[in-house]
Amino acid sequence: MSTAGATAQNKVGSPGAWLLGFGHGLSQIFFQANIYTGVLILAAFAVADWRMAALVAIGCIASTLAGRLLGAKAPDVIAGLQGFCGALVGAATFAALGGQVAAYPIALVGGALCAPVAWLVVALFTRTPLKVFALPSTTAPFCIVATGVLLSTQALHVSSPASVTIDSVPLAFARSLLTNVSQVVLVDNIWAGALILAGLFIASWKVGVAAVLGSAIGSLCALAMGETLTETANGLAGYSGVLTAIALAVVFLQSSGISWLLAVIGTIITAMVTLLMHQLPGPTYTWPYILTTWVFLVIAHYIPSAKRT
């Protein structure tokens, strides 16, 4: 993962260290420990709605603090590894509840719950026979907690904003290149997508290229499999592919020809999983990316040239 002064100190004690941890918590949504990327991601939320940005910050802070209280190591806290799932729970809370007053304590509690859930997922992968594969918990804690928030707050749900209707294949594809990126954080906005993508290129050109590659492949597969133009244009068919491409190409595997090949194949599989999961009621969140990446990391374990980071 890229860094931007992340190793300024190895203890969580000063306000600066905590601030760095919170900023990295946002950038870690896309596997980066880069404060500038984090700032651009927060700006992307603000472009969508300042109330969403506030809920994301609350979720990130709550998750980071709870993780530290549960014994997370100082370097992990400073790197943002305790905050990103909470940040996403804050985004999911806004997506379901909007900016009503009740959303704020719910984002706080949901963010805090990410810490023990993450501990359980990590335990599953480190204290069972699965430990041989060194699988990451990644955004699974977010998906689990966000689903709990969604099911337990149905009486408070608000209607989703009307989606942009697109009837042109080239326009749908072009728009999706950015909305696939923004929909990773539950935002349907091309400007938000552009801000996030800029942040990814700042973190690492390879990460930026992988994001674009995953976005393009995800959309092409969605269109080829008959996904609607509106669904594709709004990023709902390709966002998981963005994460899969970054994860396999440059994050969990050392960047090489085999890692990029696995990223391409994995992104195609992610698109298929996404289409299947769209048949289920409710949001799929990032499950298509999670499940595909876990499977491909298991496969990579048996490929000598696919080296883990």
Do 16-156 and 169-302 come out as alike in CATH topology? yes
Q: Residue range 281-299: average pLDDT?
A: 96
Question: Of 8-22, 54-68, 148-162, which range is least confident?
Answer: 8-22
CA 35 to chain centre: 16
Q: Residue range 64-87: average pLDDT?
A: 96
Report pLDDT digits (tens) over 108-152. Answer: 999 999 999 999 999 999 999 999 999 999 999 999 999 999 999
Look at residue 10 and tell me whether its pLDDT is greater than 60: no
State residue 236 phi and psi, 5-degree precision.
Answer: -80, -10
Report the percentage of the chain scoring pLDDT > 70: 97
Q: Which of 118, 145, 125, 115 is nearest to 294 (CA)?
A: 125
Q: Which of 55, 59, 58, 81 is nearest to 70 (CA)?
A: 81
**For residues 60 and 54, what is the distance between their CA atoms, to the nearest angstrom?**
10
Instruction: Report the top-level CATH class of 169-302.
Output: mainly alpha
Question: Of 135-139, 164-168, 235-239, which range is least confident?
Answer: 164-168
CA 33 to chain centre: 13
Predicted confidence at residue 160, as pLDDT, reads: 82
Prediction pTM value: 0.94
Report pLDDT digits (tens) over 248-259. Answer: 999 999 999 999
State residue 253 phi and psi, 5-degree precision.
Answer: -120, 145
The DSSP result for 31-97, as a single string, is T-B-HHHHHHHHHHHHHH-HHHHHHHHHHHHHHHHHHHHTT--HHHHHTTTTTHHHHHHHHHHHHHH
As a CATH number, domain 16-156 is: 1.10.3430.10
Predicted confidence at residue 7, as pLDDT, reads: 43
Query: 168 pLDDT band (50/70/90 cuts)?
Result: very high
Look at residue 1 and tell me whether its pLDDT is greater than 60: no
Beta-carbon contacts of residue 292 (< 8 Å; ≥ 6 apart):
240, 244, 266, 269, 270, 273
Q: How many CB atoms lie within 10 A of CB 2?
A: 18
Integer Rg of the chain from CA:
18
Look at residue 162 and tell me whether its pLDDT is greater than 80: no
Look at residue 3 and tell me whether its pLDDT is greater than 80: no
**For residues 195 and 249, what is the distance between their CA atoms, to the nearest angstrom?**
22
Look at residue 46 and tell me whether its pLDDT is greater than 90: yes
Predicted confidence at residue 184, as pLDDT, reads: 98
**For residues 233 and 230, what is the distance between their CA atoms, to the nearest angstrom?**
5
Q: Are 266 and 243 in contact (CB under 8 A)?
A: no
- Show me where the domains of the chain are located: 16-156, 169-302
